[in-house]
Amino acid sequence: MLVRRTNLVPIFEPSQATGDLEIMQLRPLLAAAWWLVLTGWVAALIAPGAAAISAFTALPALGVEVPAYAAFFADDPDGAGRLAAGFVTHPIFLAADRIQLVLAGLAILVVFIGRGIPGSDGGTGRRLASGLPLFSALGCLACYLVFVAPPLAISLDDWRAAALADDAAAASTAYQIFDPLHRSAERLMTGTLASLLVLIAVCGFQSTAKSKKAPR
């Protein structure tokens, strides 16, 4: 048995060494992909919010309205403007959700291929410092996409249908469901953004510290 074990060692060692060498060669590419993913993910969170602030500020002030809902908002011109702003920004938020899902998947893929977050090697503390905010961002996004986004979309459709039918009672019922879900979505997206900003700061610090320690 000892002879067999000794003979098997050379068979596996070159394969492991080759795998480690391939990871070393991929590290610059993985690091670049990592930063692109993080940058794109943050942009996908900020852009819809900026568009919403602009639309929900400008359109009510301009008196923009959706003619089909004129009866429901006859005494509420600001509400008519907010409805129009919602129609303008809703596709942006849907696109941002899909982009976030793709980028989150790419982040997981980069970590899987590189056997860890780029630049976080060097100890358990470094891995935890970068891993915890990443898990936080992924967790917030998952909670939003799985538990909040579907009922939020349904309640929004219900509210719009009730407003279109000029049914104030049904619109009020739908809004009572929509409003807390919308607030939960805001909190989860804020949590995702905050986690990503912490992750970017930690990864940037670790990369800078590592480059200073590297031999010249």
What's the one-letter identity of residue 55? A
pLDDT value at residue 190: 98
pLDDT value at residue 2: 47
Q: What is the pTM for the complete model shown?
A: 0.86
Can you give the C-alpha Rg of the chain in angstroms?
Answer: 25
Question: Which residues make Cβ contacts (< 8 Å) with residue 93, sequence separation at least 6?
Answer: 48, 52
pLDDT value at residue 101: 98
Give the 3-state DSSP-derived string for the chain, with helices as H, strands as E and coil as C. Answer: CHHHHHHHHHHHHHHHHHHHHHHHHHHHHHHHHHHHHHHHHHHHHHHHHHHHHHHHHHHHHHCCCCHHHCCCCCCCHHHHHHHHHHHHHHHHHHHHHHHHHHHHHHHHHHHHHCCCCCCCCCCHHHHHHHHHHHHHHHHHHHHHHHHHHHHHHHHHHHHHHHHHCCCHHHHHHHHHHHHHHHHHHHHHHHHHHHHHHHHHHHHHHHHHHHHHHCCC
pLDDT value at residue 12: 44
Question: Closest by alpha carbon to 145, among 110, 90, 192?
Answer: 192
pLDDT value at residue 212: 61
Residue entry with tokens 């607030």:
183
pLDDT value at residue 43: 98
**Per-position pLDDT tens, the chain of length 216:** 444 544 544 444 555 555 566 667 888 999 999 999 999 999 999 999 999 999 999 999 999 999 999 999 999 999 999 999 999 999 999 999 999 999 999 999 999 999 899 877 667 888 999 999 999 999 999 999 999 999 999 999 999 999 999 999 999 999 999 999 999 999 999 999 999 999 999 999 988 876 666 555
Report the distance separating Cα 161 and Cα 111, nearest Å. 44
